[in-house]
């Protein structure tokens, strides 16, 4: 979940008044936000809604709270739409045909009229980070550059450039590198290069004089692409693979800068191919379609009657433009939001707008029968018997290492479920047996008074080609008896008592198992089917675990034993 930092000055300045801590904490849920910390004039706030990137800046959060507290939804007259096209002042951005399959979309605008201060520059960088990292999936669907607008000459071109013949001085460097060299030598090139490295040509943004602005989505140029405190004109460009996300992010940046006192100057983007919104788009651009909500249906879902007037007020508090025809509310999302897929999305706005406190809990009344799984109940019977036999129940993690689950068990690992992207060697397999957990306990517990009688009932998974999922998960019972005198006979007796009280006749057949001493290990049989193993743990296994106490053990498939 995104966390942001913003200065008290920005938030309360844009909100129009200062709030006490308690007031702020009570207000933040309207933006699904929580206050993490407030110290030294800086607020740390966690935003829970991953579909609301407009809230991930001080300006955006202030906008939401300001309107919620009774303010007017702001007007942003620089926004164009399918029906209204704003004056773009001759500023155009030309997209090259070659980008169609590489990074097809780019949108842009200028922000003009105020020298940029350190605070705002810091917040701009944070917004850019959050939008591109969280919302833009680590720059793959959205990358953004903020550049020195004073010097950019239009038309700007977004072109597919030859990576070996094109070069410029990237940010933080003092010599020119080819686009391909940047991928290898620049830290940002190493980090984001993989997004474009597979294409024959790389995205390249240049101005009318052929000067490099940036190489999206990797790095800006050191000259036009490096904004400095005191600059009064910013060129903001966003490129990516999903036009609607891009337009949303573009609007968020424009509205934030507008709220900060900048005049937003639109740019017309001209595509040589069709886009969902045509070949020519003046950006920022409002593409969001209105959504119809039926108040009666909404009231049914929310559990109480809601008057039309209350509903209208509530939706407006949420910053939504509302038109009503009888019970049907037509809601147009603001330009900076793209999270309305279904009328239920408006219902939630209605809920927050009405206030959570206006909905009283109702005790659930439908009668339903409570029930536990058969396998879980059977497991409980087994637990009770083993506790009676003097065993301590254990519970372990399900992920383990190749070393513990395979090597130390003297196995070949043929049936083990393997993780493709393990976080560490310790968690690279899903356990195929609960025995290694018990042996790990024994290895870690030589100081605990003997005898050790321990067991676990838990899930294990094994590869099984016959299953749809290529694997089978089942409940397993494993127990271990470690003591100077521990041997097969003890464990066999315990199994026999358990089987008696479960009314299940469990047999044993000698079998080769590298985990057990030859001639002292076998398979457990139930109704003629092998359901588990039993035996004295092989000294080679004990040695591999560093255990110096004889151990006898068994493990069985409780689900096979459950079948009556």
Residues 30-89, interacting with other proteins (CB under 8 A): 30, 32, 48-52
- Mapped onto helix, strand or coil, the DSSP state of residue 7 is strand
Query: Considering only CA atoms, which of 71, 73, 60, 12 is closest in space to residue 32?
Result: 60
Residues 464-503 that bind other proteins (CB under 8 A): 468-473
Query: Phi then psi for 431, rounded to 5 degrees?
Result: -65, 140
d(CA 150, CA 129): 24
| Residue number, 14 or 430, with CB nearest to other proteins | 430
| Residue number, 156 or 439, with CB nearest to other proteins | 439
Q: Binding other proteins by CB under 8 A: which of 22, 362, 503, 528?
A: 362
Residues 435-454, one symbol each (x = binds other proteins by CB under 8 A, - = not), give: --x--xxxxxx-xxx-xxxx
CB of 269 to other proteins, least distance (A): 21
Residues 318-347 that bind other proteins (CB under 8 A): 341-345, 347
Q: Binding other proteins by CB under 8 A: which of 279, 296, 359, 509?
A: 359
Q: Does residue 283 contact residue 267 with C-beta atoms inside 8 Å?
A: yes
Token pair 């090597």: residue: 407
Residues 397-426, one symbol each (x = binds other proteins by CB under 8 A, - = not), give: xxx----------------xxxxxxxx--x
CB of 406 to other proteins, least distance (A): 13
CB of 11 to other proteins, least distance (A): 19
CA distances from 209 to 151, 153, 157, 266, 427 (A): 10, 7, 10, 20, 55
Q: Binding other proteins by CB under 8 A: which of 348, 381, 544, 550?
A: 348
CB of 457 to other proteins, least distance (A): 8
- Tell me: does residue 300 bind other proteins (CB under 8 A): yes
Stretch that binds other proteins, among 12-20, 38-46, 150-158, 459-467 (CB under 8 A): 459-467
- Tell me: does residue 306 bind other proteins (CB under 8 A): no
Residues 108-147 that bind other proteins (CB under 8 A): 134, 137, 141
Which residue(s) pair with 474 in the sheet? 460
Residues 507-526 that bind other proteins (CB under 8 A): none
Secondary structure in 3-state letters for 516-553: EEEEEEEEEEECCEEEEEEEEECHHHHHHHCCCCCEEE
Q: Does residue 60 contact residue 10 with C-beta atoms inside 8 Å?
A: no
Tokens of 296: 């009666």
d(CA 290, CA 332): 4
d(CA 34, CA 28): 6
Q: Binding other proteins by CB under 8 A: which of 463, 525, 530, 549?
A: 463
d(CA 401, CA 561): 28
Residues 364-403, one symbol each (x = binds other proteins by CB under 8 A, - = not), give: xxxxxxxxxx-xx---x--x--xxxxxxxxxxxxxx----
CB of 197 to other proteins, least distance (A): 18
Tokens of 48: 């829970």
| Residue number, 216 or 437, with CB nearest to other proteins | 437
| Residue number, 326 or 370, with CB nearest to other proteins | 370
- Tell me: does residue 17 bind other proteins (CB under 8 A): no
CB of 266 to other proteins, least distance (A): 25
Put residue 402 in one of left, alpha, beta given phi > 0 → left and psi -120 to 50 → alpha.
Answer: alpha
d(CA 498, CA 556): 12
């Amino acid at each position: 979940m995104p966390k942001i930092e913003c200065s008290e000055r920005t938030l309360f300045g844009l909100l129009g008044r200062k709030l006490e801590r308690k007031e702020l904490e009570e207000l933040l849920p309207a933006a699904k936000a929580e206050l993490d910390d407030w110290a030294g004039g800086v607020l740390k706030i966690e935003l829970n809604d991953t579909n609301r990137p407009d809230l991930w800046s001080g300006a955006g959060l202030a906008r939401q709270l300001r309107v919620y507290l009774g303010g007017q939804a702001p007007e942003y007259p620089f926004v164009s739409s399918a029906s209204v096209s704003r004056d773009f002042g001759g500023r155009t951005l030309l997209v090259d045909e070659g980008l169609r399959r590489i990074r097809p979309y780019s949108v842009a605008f200028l922000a003009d009229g105020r020298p940029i201060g350190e605070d705002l520059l810091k917040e701009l960088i944070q917004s850019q980070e959050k939008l591109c990292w969280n919302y833009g999936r680590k720059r793959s669907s959205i990358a953004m550059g903020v550049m020195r607008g004073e010097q950019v000459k239009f038309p700007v071109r977004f072109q597919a450039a030859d990576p070996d013949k094109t070069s410029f001085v990237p940010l933080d460097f003092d010599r020119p590198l080819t686009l391909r060299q940047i991928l290898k030598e620049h830290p940002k090139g190493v980090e984001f290069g993989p997004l474009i490295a597979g294409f024959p040509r790389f995205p390249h943004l240049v101005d009318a004089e052929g000067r490099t602005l940036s190489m999206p989505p990797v790095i800006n140029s050191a000259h036009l692409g490096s904004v400095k405190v005191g600059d009064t004109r910013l060129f903001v460009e966003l490129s990516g693979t999903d036009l609607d996300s891009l337009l949303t992010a573009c609007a968020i940046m424009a509205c934030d800068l507008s709220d900060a006192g900048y005049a937003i100057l639109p740019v017309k983007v001209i595509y040589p191919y069709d886009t969902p919104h045509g070949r020519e788009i003046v950006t920022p651009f409002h593409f969001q379609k209105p959504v119809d909500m039926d108040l009666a249906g909404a009231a049914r879902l929310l559990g109480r009657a809601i008057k039309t007037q209350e509903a209208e007020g509530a939706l407006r508090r949420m910053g939504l433009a509302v038109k009503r025809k009888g019970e049907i509310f037509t809601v147009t999302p603001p330009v900076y939001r793209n999270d309305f897929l279904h009328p239920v999305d408006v219902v939630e706005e209605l809920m927050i707008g009405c206030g959570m406190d206006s909905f009283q809990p109702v005790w659930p009344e439908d009668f339903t029968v409570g029930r536990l799984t058969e396998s879980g109940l059977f497991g409980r019977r087994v637990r009770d018997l083993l506790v009676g036999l003097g065993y301590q129940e254990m519970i372990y993690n399900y992920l383990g290492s190749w070393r513990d689950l395979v090597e130390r068990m003297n196995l070949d690992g043929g049936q083990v479920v393997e993780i493709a992207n393990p976080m560490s060697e310790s968690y690279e397999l899903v356990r195929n047996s609960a025995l290694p957990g018990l042996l790990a306990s024994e290895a870690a517990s030589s100081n605990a008074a003997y005898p050790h009688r321990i067991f676990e009932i838990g899930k294990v998974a094994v590869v099984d080609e016959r299953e749809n999922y290529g694997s089978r998960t089942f409940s397993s019972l494993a127990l271990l008896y470690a003591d100077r005198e521990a041997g097969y006979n003890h464990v066999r007796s315990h199994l026999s008592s358990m089987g008696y009280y479960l009314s299940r006749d469990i047999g044993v057949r000698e079998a080769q198992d590298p985990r057990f001493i030859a001639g002292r290990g076998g398979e457990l049989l139930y109704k003629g089917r092998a359901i588990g193993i039993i035996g004295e743990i092989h000294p080679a296994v004990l040695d591999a675990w560093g255990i110096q106490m004889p151990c006898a053990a068994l493990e069985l498939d409780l689900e096979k034993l459950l079948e009556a």
